[in-house]
A and B are shown apart, each in its own frame.
Chain A
Amino acid sequence: MLGQYLPILALGVLAVLFAAVSFVASKLLAPRRPTSAKAAPYECGIVPTKEAPERFPVRFFLVAMIFIVFDIEIIFIYPWATIFEGLGLYGLVAMLIFAFAVFESFVYLVGNGALDWGPLKKQVPRTR
């Protein structure tokens, strides 16, 4: 029956309602005293004098990629954790092997200086 999906529909309606009410309420209740600084896209800090650089430094992508790798580890650890007792030693050993393989990528990253933040020093020579 479609009836079982009613809560989802209700949730969706509630979310839309909440957003709409928030917008309308802030329009009605908030005092409006605009200044030029407040009308700028970002209110805080110094007024920007030049456009933000279009590219992010490569480092951000690198961190994003590293994050995904370790994020994925959780997908397997979570189900394993729920039946950890039943799996016993077998599960522990299997998970340790898996964790080692993932951890190995971390060793590689540290060894290559991928996690050194801040202004770069000289490129680290990896091999002679």
Chain B
Amino acid sequence: MFFAQVAPDSIVTPDIAWTALVPHLVLAGGAILMLMVWSLAGRWLPRWLPSMVTAAVGLGAAIGSIHLWRRVTDADRGPFSAVADSVGIDGFSVFLTVVISLTVVFAALLADGYLRRERLDGPEYHVLLLLSAAGGVTMATANDLIVLFLGLEILSLAVYVLAGYHNRRAQSQEAAIKYFVLGAFSSAFLLYGIALTYGATGSTNLVDINAYLRSTVLVDDGLLLAGFALLLVGLGFKVSAVPFHTWTPDVYQGSPTPVVAFMASGVKAAGFAALLRVFVVTFGTYADDWKPILYALAVATLLVGAILAVVQNDVKRMLAYSSISHAGFMLIGVHAASADGTASVLYYLAVYSVLVIGSFAVVGVVSGTGDGATTVGDFAGLGARRPWLAFAFTVFLLAQAGVPLTTGFFAKFYAITAAVDGRSWALAIVAMLSAVIAAYLYLRIMIAMWLEGSDDDAPIRVPVGTVVVLGVAAAFTIGFGIFPEPIVDLARDATPALVNSP
């Protein structure tokens, strides 16, 4: 054998801890198997099956995370890393894995009725959804910057296609191309940031980077700081922080509504997972250098999101800007760079995901065939036409405004508390100001729904899947708004950790 001489005899192959990868494997494997089954036998399978299978796979991934949660919260065993230290399993990553998996369940249930109404049904939507969730989970569990980048790309590439999934709607395709170009732009920046960080610290492993930064005083840290800046640009795009938010309203308005629900929940959760893990956890020793930038980002995001939301006339655009201002609240928690700050972001993500999915579920139903009727006027008189639909939307809007007895109140409360604990009083005041401005926007939609009349009496069909999503989301919002402890405790226990296998 010719190559036998070249090849070293003993290559140490990594030990794969399959149990640690259960959520990844369930999501990715589910997607691939589903694609295979449907391309071979799709003609003979019923049309409602793909979304049910997807929901089951998402639920399976969430259930498969339970044993990981038990293991990482167990004092004796604790967090661990797998696959040659490239995947880190800790409370933080398991919490976000569950959040992302559950957003898949909701997005699949919403898609069922939507895709059939728009005559777009087929397995592709669901396969892409599962693949992007697998990417999001990879991002949340990444213990290495390259793995983080791969996860981000798997997530984004699938969502680019999903954004243009409505192939008869020009707006949807415009959204796809805008999202794609700006997304590719931002990933290139992120990657350049990774390269510079690698050059400055000598590793792409987060644990090694952290250890290096702790033990070494860099005489010339220009390279590292440039890396920070580029990483922040790349991740800022993904979580749509101002001034990197310009794609958000266009993409949210043009994309199919169930896709938007996933973008605003699952994709955002993955983006914040990366932001927290890279900046707060890994670059914690350099917090003094990146905190001012994040402070500016948070202030700009809070104010611009809330102010521009008010002047919109399209409900999808309004919710897009409002999701930008919510991202500002989460950035407050990132800026705090503390355990409480991280917990507040996790709680916010879990709660906001449910709210935004519920909101877009209503929008997707009201928009009607063609997915076009999304102006405020189209919501006029909804309270008289479909009282329960209007009631559910009211609950989600009130919660987004931060009204007490809803989950949204505690989310904003903990974010502002994190800012106050970090002695950033100005930031806390800006956050409250933003909440007040944004409240006007939610009030405007509610007034249209309940007080304005409408001569439009076209029937609004609410598919079963959407009813389930609305019911669960509304029950979650009110139930955990009155008894917030369970979710708060989970978010507190979900601490990030940096460990390599011994």
A binding-site residues for B, Cβ under 8 Å: 82-88, 90-91, 100-101, 104, 107-108, 110-112, 125-128
Nearest-Cβ distance from residue A21 to partner chain B, whole angstroms: 39
Q: List CB contacts (< 8 Å) of B39-96 with chain A.
A: 39-40, 42-47
The complex places the Cα of A82 from the Cα of B36 at a distance, in Å, of 31
Binds A, one of B5-13, B136-144, B372-380, B491-499: B5-13
Q: Can you list 7 A-B contacts with CB-CB less than 8 angstroms, sorted by A residue number?
A: A85-B7, A107-B36, A108-B35, A111-B38, A111-B39, A125-B43, A126-B43
The complex places the Cα of A127 from the Cα of B35 at a distance, in Å, of 13
B121 near A: Cβ within 8 Å? Answer: yes
Contact size class for B? Answer: 20 to 34
Contact in complex: A127, B13 (CB < 8 Å): no
Contact in complex: B43, A128 (CB < 8 Å): yes
Neighbouring B residues of A127 by C-beta, 8 Å:
38, 42-43, 45, 47, 121-123
| Smallest CB-CB A-B distances: 8 pairs | A111-B39, A90-B13, A86-B11, A86-B7, A108-B39, A83-B7, A85-B7, A127-B42
The complex places the Cα of A126 from the Cα of B123 at a distance, in Å, of 9
CB < 8 Å A-B pair total? 60
The complex places the Cα of A83 from the Cα of B260 at a distance, in Å, of 45
**Residue interface bits B156-193, CB-to-A below 8 A is 1, else 0:** 00000000000000000000000000000000000000
B217 near A: Cβ within 8 Å? Answer: no
The complex places the Cα of A90 from the Cα of B10 at a distance, in Å, of 12
Given A101-B32, A125-B43, check contact A83 B8 (CB 8 Å). yes
Contact in complex: B1, A128 (CB < 8 Å): no
Interface centre among A91, A111, A112 (most CB of B within 10 A): A111
B311 near A: Cβ within 8 Å? Answer: no
Neighbouring B residues of A125 by C-beta, 8 Å:
43
The complex places the Cα of A110 from the Cα of B36 at a distance, in Å, of 11
Neighbouring A residues of B46 by C-beta, 8 Å:
128
Q: List CB contacts (< 8 Å) of B1-34 with chain A.
A: 1, 3-4, 6-11, 13, 32
B binding-site residues for A, Cβ under 8 Å: 1, 3-4, 6-11, 13, 32, 35-36, 38-40, 42-47, 121-123
Neighbouring A residues of B35 by C-beta, 8 Å:
104, 107-108
Majority SS at the chain A contact face: helix
- The contact of B3 among A82, A90, A128, by CB within 8 Å, is A82
Given A104-B32, A127-B47, check contact A83 B39 (CB 8 Å). no
Neighbouring A residues of B32 by C-beta, 8 Å:
100-101, 104
Contact in complex: B121, A86 (CB < 8 Å): no
Contact in complex: B3, A111 (CB < 8 Å): no
Closest to A101 in B: B32
Neighbouring A residues of B45 by C-beta, 8 Å:
127-128
Contact in complex: B7, A84 (CB < 8 Å): yes
Closest to A109 in B: B39
Neighbouring A residues of B11 by C-beta, 8 Å:
83, 86-87
Interface centre among A88, A107, A127 (most CB of B within 10 A): A127
The complex places the Cα of A64 from the Cα of B10 at a distance, in Å, of 40
Neighbouring A residues of B123 by C-beta, 8 Å:
127
The complex places the Cα of A111 from the Cα of B32 at a distance, in Å, of 14
Nearest-Cβ distance from residue B79 to partner chain A, whole angstroms: 26
Given A126-B43, A126-B122, A127-B47, check contact A86 B36 (CB 8 Å). no
The complex places the Cα of A58 from the Cα of B3 at a distance, in Å, of 43
Contact in complex: B39, A85 (CB < 8 Å): no
Neighbouring B residues of A112 by C-beta, 8 Å:
39
Closest to A88 in B: B13
Nearest-Cβ distance from residue B122 to partner chain A, whole angstroms: 5
Contact in complex: B122, A85 (CB < 8 Å): no
Given contacts A82-B6, A127-B38, A127-B123, 14 further A-B contacts (CB under 8 A): A82-B7, A83-B3, A84-B7, A86-B7, A86-B10, A101-B32, A104-B32, A107-B35, A108-B36, A111-B39, A112-B39, A127-B42, A127-B47, A128-B44
Neighbouring A residues of B4 by C-beta, 8 Å:
85
Contact in complex: B3, A84 (CB < 8 Å): yes
Closest to A87 in B: B11
Neighbouring B residues of A82 by C-beta, 8 Å:
3, 6-7
Closest to B9 in A: A86
Nearest-Cβ distance from residue B395 to partner chain A, whole angstroms: 35
Nearest-Cβ distance from residue A88 to partner chain B, whole angstroms: 8
